């Protein structure tokens, strides 16, 4: 996957991915320092960062199973939520690969007997695996991927 230099480039990549997997997609844009979640100290009516740039975030909801929401931050990272499991600090460039792993059945849930716990395991390019502890109960989709 190419480098996704902007939030808009990432949204475009997610729209293409949604079309490829026949998923409904809904996108909400937050533009300006007074609108983005990580710039709350900017003050009311302050739209630009101190360097003059206009921060842009997007919130993407994808239809289908599993239920997936993606918050694309202006700081080149994302928060992906999969059936209630939050996966923070995903590099924006890894978002399409992360979602492909979900939709192509490569992600799994690792079950640990002692101490008991479940982890969402999502393979990424470069022999990396994103591992996220599951605090919530297992949805039917997550249960179907337990190993």
CB 70 within 8 A of CB 36: no
Q: Where are the domains of the chain?
A: 7-143
Q: What DSSP letter does each residue of 87-141 carry, written as one string?
A: EEEEEGGGHHHHHHHHHTT--EEEEETTTTEEEEEEEETTTEEEEEE--SPPPHH
Residue ranges of the chain with pLDDT lower than 50?
1, 38-42, 46, 48-50, 52
Q: What is the pLDDT of residue 57?
A: 87
Q: What is the pLDDT of residues 40-54, one digit of tens each?
A: 444 555 454 445 455
Q: What is the pLDDT of residue 40?
A: 47
């Amino acid at each position: 996957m190419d480098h996704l230099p902007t939030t808009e480039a990432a949204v475009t990549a997610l729209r293409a991915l949604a079309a490829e997997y026949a998923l409904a997609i809904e996108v909400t844009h937050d533009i300006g320092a007074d609108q983005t979640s990580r710039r709350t100290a900017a003050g009311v009516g302050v739209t630009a960062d101190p360097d003059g740039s206009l921060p842009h975030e997007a919130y993407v909801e994808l239809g289908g199973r599993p239920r997936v929401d993606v918050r694309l931050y202006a700081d080149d990272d994302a928060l992906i939520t999969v059936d209630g499991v939050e996966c923070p600090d995903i590099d924006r460039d890894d978002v399409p690969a992360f979602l492909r792993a979900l939709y192509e059945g490569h992600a799994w849930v690792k079950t640990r007997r002692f101490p008991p716990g479940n982890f969402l395991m999502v393979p990424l390019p470069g022999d990396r695996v994103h591992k996220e502890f599951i605090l919530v109960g297992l949805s039917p989709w997550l249960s179907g991927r337990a190993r």
